[in-house]
Amino acid sequence: MESTKKDRHMSADFLDEEKLMQATEAQSLGHFIKRFTINPKNKRKNSGESGMYISKEVVEKRNKKLAPKAPESKEKCKLILPDGTEVELSILEGTLGPKMLDIRDLYAKTGMFTFDPGYTASGSCVSAITYIDGGKGQLLYRGYKIEDLAANCTFIETCFLLLYGELPTASDLADFEERVKDEMLVHEKLKDFFKGFNPKAHPMAIMCSVIGALSSFYHEDLDIEDPKQRERVAIQMIAKFPTLAAFSFRTSMGLPMVYPRRDLSYTENFLHMMFSDPMDQEAVVEPVMTEALDKILLLHADHEQNASTSTVRIAGSSKANPFACISAGIASLWGPAHGGANQACIEMLQEIGEATNIPKYIEKAKDKKDPFRIMGFGHRVYKNFDPRATVMAKMCKKVVETMDSKNQEMLSIALELERIALEDDYFISRKLYPNVDFYSGIVLQELSIPTNMFTVIFALARTIGWVCQWKEMMSEDTVKIGRPRQLYVGEKCREFVAMNER
């Protein structure tokens, strides 16, 4: 007799571990579990067939719309070589920002490459996600000002905007949040990885590994050429990151791991998984903590072609597994000149200790023989102010006041350090202003997030940016593998010297 669909799912055969693994990979773990339960309070359809599980055609149409196109050149310029030869180069103009010299055919025309260590003047891609005007102190996500988004949106709403190019309607957002929740559980086998780490391991070391390890669960059946699968990867990435980040924290503390809950928002879920008290099920997180963390996530969601994003793009350009590419991005973010600045900033404020020590540290920062720098100060792109820092400074004051905090002292030192630095000619002439991390560290400290988890929070926020940039690159007609050139200054070709002659 033919078994019903329900029978098949409940049969012992189906619960065989290998088959269960296949089943749960084909559809999200959350969705799989949801099929066996009914929650009378949940008015949304429990079938998983609602708007979010959209057809391949819709995804392909969206993908086409979001694929960035390099503009046609309308202007040319001439380059005169030392021998007097004139070479014509095209000039490209985007919708915003400085024009760019198109040097793609420079080598063919001149036999020369360009030299630009740190890519301070080179465009590496076309993109329609984020725009920064460093001079104006402007940051736009899909054309919307960061200040407006920070004042009116949640982080998950911002994820939708970055991923799909438009702000969601209420129903789009509800579907999207549900879809993210469906992906928040991680395979139980992944939890075993956490047993293998040194108990003192830095959580960023753990995150590089476990996010990379997701590629061992999602590889064989993953077709990165399929836009629908790429969209799913994007959702899996942002959904599983908070779960794994909280697991890494709970492991380092020796606390039991906590699972996500369907009734909580994205940010509440992360705080719940981080801080839930196994002995007090009724304890809830202070709303101002959720607000502050949500703001931090939103402000860090994307930031053009920075070091970690470029790393993700370069790794992805070889068509590598996207989870492995994000792991590469996490590694790049880890350093104190990038995502590690918030941790470094708190450590610096602790080292300064009291306001009377500030002048001594300002002198150290100015002394070229001293490696000390004011952490959370300066930016490669922002040269007037960092708009994220303005929002973060306000949030920082609100949190410290609401929580009646012991961090009041640290905030006073930060404010005084900022005041003195901004009156000092060294900082003025080099256009060095506080960046977002100058204040985000204090907020995170206020949220009881341990210092070594700060960069993990940054990575949690930036995952949406990384995955959108990867997705955008993959949607182009041809993906060019990243392969910079070098100015070689080593030995010229020489004769090999045999061992007995050296």
What residues are labeled active site? Answer: 338, 379, 437
Residues in CB range of 200: below 8 A, 6 or more apart = none
Structure tokens at 386: 């960092």
User: Minimal distance in Å, beta carbon 129 to ligand CMC?
Assistant: 15
Q: Which stretch binds ligand CMC (CB under 6 A): 157-165, 171-179, 180-188, 376-384?
A: 376-384
For the chain, count helices (H), then strands (E): 22, 6
Residue 462 in contact with ligand CMC, rule: CB under 6 A: no
Pick the binder of ligand CMC from 435, 440, 455, 469 (CB under 6 A).
Answer: 435
Q: Toward ligand CMC, which CB reaches closer, 74 or 369?
A: 369
Dihedral sign for Cα 274, 277, 281, 287, please. Answer: negative
Site map (CB under 6 A) of ligand CMC, residues 305-344, x = contact? -x------------------------------xxx-x---
Residue 62 in contact with ligand CMC, rule: CB under 6 A: no
Pick the binder of ligand CMC from 330, 374, 449, 464 (CB under 6 A).
Answer: 374
Residue 364 in contact with ligand CMC, rule: CB under 6 A: no
Q: Which stretch binds ligand CMC (CB under 6 A): 170-178, 274-282, 404-412, 428-436?
A: 428-436
Site map (CB under 6 A) of ligand CMC, residues 121-160, x = contact? ----------------------------------------
Q: How far is it, in rounded angstroms, from Cα 464 to Cα 453?
A: 18
User: Minimal distance in Å, beta carbon 86 to ligand CMC?
Assistant: 34
DSSP class of 377: B
Q: How far is it, in rounded angstroms, from Cα 116 to Cα 14?
A: 57
Q: Toward ligand CMC, which CB reaches closer, 157 or 418?
A: 418
User: Minimal distance in Å, beta carbon 207 to ligand CMC?
Assistant: 17
Q: Toward ligand CMC, which CB reaches closer, 184 or 444?
A: 444
Measured CA to CA in angstroms, residue 259 lies from 46, 142, 188, 248, 449 at distances of 20, 33, 11, 13, 18
Q: Toward ligand CMC, which CB reaches closer, 46 or 122?
A: 122
Q: How far is it, in rounded angstroms, from Cα 180 to Cα 154?
A: 14
User: Minimal distance in Å, beta carbon 455 to ligand CMC?
Assistant: 10
Q: Toward ligand CMC, which CB reaches closer, 233 or 349?
A: 349
Cβ contact 132:383 at 8 Å: no
Dihedral sign for Cα 211, 213, 217, 219, please. Answer: positive
User: Minimal distance in Å, beta carbon 345 to ligand CMC?
Assistant: 7
Give the DSSP H/E element, type plus range, for residue 399. Answer: helix 387-402
Hey, which bits of 48-186 come out as E strands? 75-80, 86-92, 100-102, 130-133, 138-141, 144-145
Cβ contact 439:396 at 8 Å: yes
Q: Toward ligand CMC, which CB reaches closer, 127 or 306?
A: 306
Residue 349 in contact with ligand CMC, rule: CB under 6 A: no
Which residue's CB atom is positioned nearest to ligand CMC?
378
**What residue has token string 């009378």?**
40
Instruction: Write out the DSSP string of 12-71.
Output: TTTTSHHHHHHHHHHS-HHHHHHTT---TT--S-SSS-STTS--HHHHHHHHHHHS--PP
Residues that bind ligand CMC (CB under 6 A): 303, 306, 337-339, 341, 365, 373-380, 430, 432, 435, 437
